Structure 1
Amino acid sequence: MARLLIVILLLVGPGAAMALQDPTRPSGQQTTPAPAAAESRQFALSSILYGPQRRVAVIDGVPRSEGDTFDGVRLRRIYPARVELVVQGQVREVRLTALPSIRTSK
């Protein structure tokens, strides 16, 4: 039950975030991030919801389903502990990283 609650919070949480302005940046100065090459890009797989009716993977903080396309990348398949992405025609596998262990104090 607690695990389901954590997955729900992870799926809802990223949508509530807002971009903030840097107060130390001089006014009128705009910076554009350099486009990252898709083939060398690292994808952050933070959680997977895997069931018989629904499969969702949270990649780079955004919930995604099989077949979704983002930044020129297609989410091919979701497995219980990994996903397959198609990046410029090549299949890349991204594994779910282990969560840190939580210890309670006495």
Structure 2
Amino acid sequence: MAPALTVAFSDPTQPVGSVTTTARAAGPAAPAGPVLQSTLVSPQRRVAVISGKQVRVGDKVNGAVVTEISPYEVRMKQSGRETTLRLLPKLNKEQEAVK
């Protein structure tokens, strides 16, 4: 019995030049550092979820101490260097004017 020949078929329903399923499955590269996923800010507490872990002010994330949690960002400090994680990217002045 002869060995089976494997042939890759393209999807004829997809537009020419579309992304292949193998490229789509790979997805975007994972971020290099911690990612702010959500925040909960109320008069009683301030909590953030960073890379899947719930943290409060004073907790450590990858060696950095969480110093402040606000509705849209978290500030952390490590070795005198401050880092800010944001839920939303910074808006440029043109986008702010559109509001």
TM-score between both structures, scaled by the size of structure 1:
0.50
Measure the CA separation in 1 of the matches of 2:61 and 2:83: 14
In structure 2, stretches of 5+ residues that fail to align are 1-31, 90-99
Answer yes or no: is the 8 Å Cα contact 1:46–1:97 preserved in 2. Answer: no
Name the larger-Rg structure.
Answer: 2
TM-score between both structures, scaled by the size of structure 2:
0.53
Choose the corresponding residue for 1:52, options 43, 48, 60: 43
Answer yes or no: is the 8 Å Cα contact 1:72–1:88 preserved in 2. Answer: no
Larger RCO (alpha carbons 8 Å, 6+ apart) = 1
Q: Deviations over 1:15-46 (max 9, x none)?
A: xxxxxxxxxxxxxxxxxxxxxxxxxx522100
Measure the CA separation in 1 of the matches of 2:77 and 2:63: 9
**Which residue is equivalent to 1:67?**
58
**Which residue is equivalent to 1:96?**
87
| Equivalent residue pairs, number | 58
Measure the CA separation in 1 of the matches of 2:42 and 2:75: 17
CA RMSD of aligned residues (A): 1.6
Measure the CA separation in 2 of the matches of 1:62 and 1:53: 20
Q: Deviations over 1:71-105 (max 9, x none)?
A: 3110010011001011222111110138xxxxxxx
The percent identity for this pair of structures is: 36
In structure 1, stretches of 5+ residues that fail to align are 1-40, 99-106
Measure the CA separation in 2 of the matches of 1:53 and 1:59: 20
**Which residue is equivalent to 1:77?**
68
